[in-house]
Structures are given as C-alpha cells and as structure tokens.
Chains A and B, each alone.
Chain A
C-alpha cells in the first residue's frame, strides 16, 4: 500500500509571530520556517506503517513556494521515499487556500493511487483545519479526522479519534483520508545517514497548470491584527470579596 503524506511549510512553532505594520499578514521575512508539526506526525506515522510492513512506499507532497523543497527534504530525511512539489505560489506571503490544495492533492491521488492519505489535522499558520476534509469530499473517500491511534486492518483501518469529551473509535474502508492529531506519536529526528541519503531521493517538480487546477484565491484577507493583550488581573483578600466582585462589579453571578 502506498501512503501519500501532504506536508506544509509553515512558520516555525518556536518563532514569536509578529503582525506586519500594514496589517496585511504576519511577517515571514527572515523567519525560520519548518514542517507543520501535525504533518510531521503524519510522516512519522507513515514511516511506522512502512517499518511494520503495512506500507510499501511513502510519498511526501507539498503545495506552495519553491522553498517548500526544504520541507520535503526533511520528510525524505525522516524516511519518506520520494517527493512531489507543486509550486503554486511565488512569494512566501501567498497562502494557497485549502480548497485549491485539496483539488491539487486529489489529482495527485488519481495519479499515484495511494491506499491512504495521512496528513496533519490542520496547519499551525492559518489553523483552517479543512484540507483533509475537503480532499475526502473531492475524492468521495471515507475520512477519519483527529486520529490519535491508527490501526490498519484487513479491509481498512480502525481509527481512534479525539473528539470533544473523549475518544471515538471508528472503522473505515480504505482507500481513505486520515488527519492526525497531536497524541498519535512523537516524530523522530532525522538520522545522519538519512539526511545524507535525502538528496539522492527523487523530487518531482510540478505546477498547478500540470494538473489543470485553478488556485486563484476565493477569499480576501481584509485585515490581520494581533490578539488584544490580556489585562492584568487583581488579587482578592477573601472568598467573600471574590463573590462580591463577581456579583456587583463583573455582574456574572
């Protein structure tokens, strides 16, 4: 079974994000970029499936700027077999929308015929949480989102999902889309031999035109602003004072 793992290049989770002065977006110039952490978990899971003999080949694919090659190389260094880059943006400030990404991925799926598409539940930059679901809709495939455990069975997969208030276990038929959550696994570091091998692994360069997909934006970003900074709290001397303030000042009880 082939496993396709879409990965996104995002601002590194350690970077303190700053909004640009003109409020058009966040500042991405000279900022460290990395693989979306949820996608890293998806790559790790794919590698574990391959190590367990459940997957035959792992293909990482990314939609975005040319520099996403680095992100794909990271996937290859972790243990993926080959990579596809669909260069769909010219500047780092262009965020290709989930629907366009889903349509492109659907074309890749048609070509590659994977048994499973494993991807992060969301990207930590725009937090859309949409690409996996849209891809399932475009393909008409079963989907299991927010996976915290994945087991491949004879006729499909059993997935434990993290849902509000608990865990939900579902069975799906493959081929399927599975989006992964934080607790599925802990991704490995790239090993030195794999880093050195990554360059020799194949990376295909594509454009949206190759797939006949229109990636022009459907959404317009009106304004990006920083969250309002939190006001300092106050200390109260007693429970009675607290209740009094909640009742008479905050008016919540």
Chain B
C-alpha cells in the first residue's frame, strides 16, 4: 500500500488550491451578498481554467480533456470544494455522462462541452419525484416519429448557465410485482427548444448564487437524435456514469471541512477566555481532535473509492459510503467549528455560518443519506437473501 501523492498529483493539488485561494475566495463575499455570480467574473474564471488546461479535466485527452483518472480528479475537486460552489461551477467539469454521446452528438454536445463552448446541466428531480426516481411524471410520448415531452423538473443546478441539459424522462411503464415502474430515457435538450422553458427556482439556504432552476416542458418535441444512450436505457447510462456526482459531493465536503477546520484551529489558538487560549480547554481541544480525525477518515474513504474505480474494482458500495460519511462529517465539523467560534460564528461577517448552511444540502442532493444507506445495506444483504 502507498498513501503518498506522486509529484504530479501534488502539483495538481497545489495548483488548484492556489487557484481557488487567488481566483475564487476574493469573489465569495460578492456572490454571497448578491446571490449571483457577476458575468465578467464567471467568464474570467472560465477563461483561466481553459488556458491552464484544467477545464474538463475529467475527460480523456483524446477528446481534448485533461485526462485525469478518478483519484486525481477527486484530489482536484477536493481542493475546488474549499471555494464557493457558485464560482467554481466555472472551473468547468462537464457531466461525464456526456461520454455516452454517439455519432453527431459528439460534435454537438460532447466536444463543445469539453472545450467550454457549451455548458451542460443534469435534470432528474421533480416536485413529486425526489429519491423515488421511477416515480417521475415528466413523460415523453411517441408522436409521428418524435417524442413529445410534458412535465416539470426542479432543483436543477447550473441550468441558468446551461446551453443544453441532460434530462431524464419517462418513456414507458413496466408492471412489476411491486407495482408499476417507469421506463426512463436520457435526452439532450437544447436551451431554446420550443416548448422548453428554464425558469428561476427557489431561494436556498445552501450555496447562495449556485441557483437551482425549474424546467418546464409543454408539448416539447424532441427527435430520436436527442436520445442519449438507448431508448428506455436511462437507468443504464445513469448507472454507468452518475457515480461521479457522489464522489464529487464526498470529496468537496472533505475540502470544505478542511478549510473550516483550519479556521477553527487558528481561532482556538488565538482566542482567549478565562485568561487563556480557548484551545487549552479540553472542551475545545477534543472537538478539534474529533474534527480532524473525521476529516481524515472521510478523505481516505473517498480517495480509496476513486482509486477502486481506477483499478476497475467494484466501487458502488464504497462510493455510497464515502458520500454518506463525508457529507455527514461536514455537518458535524461545520457545527463544531461554529460552536468554537461562539456567537461570532453565527454572524455573516465571518464565513463560518455560510459553511454551516452550505453543509446542509450535501446530505440531501445526489442521493440522500438514506438512499446511500439503502445502497450500502442492499449490497451487503441482498447476496444473503435478506
């Protein structure tokens, strides 16, 4: 076993860390106070990322990506996770599900996304279909050789900047012993397609400026050329590619936790009460000990799950464990950091309350903690017939 980073990996970590500190941190307060990323700042981050060859680092070199493996990409996203989600969205990492593009879809979607010419987003969740994906109501019906789509998606991150969106839509229904279940197909939907609207979403407590959008389909006509993967093959492409978003949540949680921890550690070493540094009180110092232990555990769990993917080992359970543990760790670490800061931690003059708020969504999106526990436990018990 070897836990060290190679020179290249260390340089990736150092470079991205420096980028985040110099190009992302300075704009965080603007985004936080306005709830928006100014267009010129977004363009600047994107331009620099493209120049440095870090844009689409998760895609193979053959198609113009950065060619990082899962472990290296997890390290990159860990450092990125230190900074604002709204801003680091422009340190472009297109959905790797775009690798499922075939034929002319590659020219229209995959290659422009990798080059930063077109931005993507992914839509699955609906008002009445959260964890229960197969309960989705957004439906596409055959009509004269095309698909006609009706329905609504919500909580769609990044959609306000997207030129096209990968949308999962029901294309049929199967009768199963557990009742009817939807057959699902992934579609590539261009902004501006008639009958397709991208509307503002809700005000979220987490990740201000990283807006969630609502998608509305009203007799939106899509030809077969817009199908990503196979018709009714939505679950196949999902299973093949969507693991990546869970590693993203896990590793970004680790990065953000480390940033919060460093602040809390510094504060504990400087703040004085009762005539001594508060770090001298066991009530504070033991919290710090627990925080770093959990951060390291989540870090290793996450990197190990990414490493398993690189080794072509089964990793579904490990990725679920990493997503579950890292997101819950972040909640505990941000909460403890806020406690160490005391009342001042709640004030928006310091970023602690922001990290505390931002942490809340990590246990919900990209598969709730409960869904992750379901995945983990099914993998353990199904082979035993339970």
Query: In the complex the two chains form, what is the Cα distance from A189 to B12 in whole Å?
Result: 10
Query: In the complex the two chains form, what is the Cα distance from A153 to B6 in whole Å?
Result: 41
Residues of B within 8 A of A199 (CB): 6-8
Which label, helix, strand, loop or mixed, suits the secondary structure of the B interface? helix
What is the total of A-B residue contacts with beta carbons within 8 Å? 44
Segment 10-66 of B: residues with Cβ below 8 Å from A:
10-12, 14-15, 18-19, 48, 51-54, 57, 66
Query: In the complex the two chains form, what is the Cα distance from A191 to B67 in whole Å?
Result: 13
CB pair B52 A196 closer than 8 Å: no
Residues of B within 8 A of A70 (CB): 7, 10
User: Please, which residue of chain A has its CB at the minimum distance from the CB of B6?
Assistant: A199
Using known A-B contacts A189-B19, A191-B51, A191-B52, determine if residue A196 contacts B7 with beta carbons closer than 8 Å.
Answer: no
Using known A-B contacts A70-B10, A73-B7, A191-B52, determine if residue A196 contacts B67 with beta carbons closer than 8 Å.
Answer: yes
CB pair B7 A192 closer than 8 Å: no
Indicate if A198 sits at the interface (CB-CB under 8 A): yes
CB pair B52 A198 closer than 8 Å: no
Most buried by A among B11, B12, B67: B11
Query: In the complex the two chains form, what is the Cα distance from A190 to B16 in whole Å?
Result: 10
CB distance from B296 to the nearest CB of A (A): 15
CB pair B18 A189 closer than 8 Å: yes
Residues of B within 8 A of A69 (CB): 7
CB pair A198 B8 closer than 8 Å: yes
Residue in B6, B8, B15, B68 whose beta carbon sits within 8 Å of that of A189 in the complex: B15
Residue in B6, B11, B48, B68 whose beta carbon sits within 8 Å of that of A190 in the complex: B11
User: Please, which residue of chain B has its CB at the minimum distance from the CB of A72?
Assistant: B7
Query: In the complex the two chains form, what is the Cα distance from A252 to B36 in whole Å?
Result: 54
Residues of A within 8 A of B8 (CB): 195-196, 198-199
Residues of B within 8 A of A193 (CB): 53
Indicate if A143 sits at the interface (CB-CB under 8 A): no
Query: In the complex the two chains form, what is the Cα distance from A69 to B8 in whole Å?
Result: 12
Residues of B within 8 A of A73 (CB): 7, 11
B-contacting residues of A (Cβ < 8 Å)? 34, 69-70, 73-74, 77, 189-196, 198-199
3 nearest A-B residue pairs (beta carbon) = A192-B53, A191-B53, A191-B52
Q: List 30 A-B contacts (CB under 8 A).
A: A34-B14, A69-B7, A70-B10, A73-B7, A73-B11, A74-B11, A74-B14, A77-B11, A189-B19, A189-B52, A190-B15, A190-B52, A191-B51, A191-B52, A191-B53, A191-B54, A192-B15, A192-B52, A192-B57, A192-B68, A193-B53, A194-B53, A195-B12, A195-B15, A196-B8, A196-B67, A198-B7, A198-B11, A199-B6, A199-B8
